[in-house]
Amino acid sequence: MDEKGERKRKSFSGTTKAKVNKKMTDYVAAFNDALQESDESRKTLKESMTHWLQVFKFPSVERTTYDRCECTVEHQIFPLLGEKVVGDITAADLEEVLNYWMGEG
C-alpha cells in the first residue's frame, strides 16, 4: 500500500517459476529493509500519526470527521502508545490497546 493506504500492485516475470519466486523474495526483502530504514519508523507514534492526520486525512475528509479522528487518537491511542517508536510497535501492543478499551466498555 502507498502512503494514502491505497493498494499498489507489483508484478514479476521470468522464464521459470523459480526465477519469479526469487525476484519476489528479493523484492519483499528489499522493501522490508527500506521500511525499517525509513524516517517514520524512528518517530514516535504520536509524531507520525499527527503528521499523517494533518497531511493525508485532513484534506480528504469533512472537518467533523477529522475532528473525531483527532479526538480519538488524542484520548484513546496516544495515552497508551503515543511515546512508543513506530518501528518498535508489535501486534501485542495493538492487542493490549484493544483489550484495554474493550475492558473499559
Q: What value does the mean pLDDT of the chain take?
A: 86
- The verdict on 67 and 94 lying in the same domain is yes
Domain co-membership, 26 together with 71: no
Q: Indicate if 27 and 65 belong to the same structural domain.
A: no
Reported confidence tier of residue 52, pLDDT bands at 50, 70, 90 = confident
Q: Both 33 and 56 in a single domain?
A: no
Query: What does the alpha-carbon distance between residue 45 and residue 105 come to, in Å, rounded to a whole number?
Result: 24
Whether 95 and 59 share a structural domain = yes
Cβ(77)–Cβ(47) under 8 Å? no
Q: Choose the weakest-confidence range: 6-15, 20-29, 30-39, 50-59.
A: 30-39
Which letter does DSSP use for residue 44 in this model?
Answer: B
Mean pLDDT of 24-45: 79
Check residues 83 and 31 and name the one with the higher pLDDT: 83
Residues 48 and 31 in one domain: no
Residues with Cβ within 8 Å of 10's Cβ and at least 6 positions away in sequence, in order, are 27
Residues 80, 32 share a domain: no
**Number of domains present in the structure of the chain:** 2
Percentage of the chain surpassing pLDDT 70?
90
Q: Are residues 23 and 61 in the same domain?
A: no
Higher pLDDT, 39 or 96: 96
Show the domain range for 64: 42-103
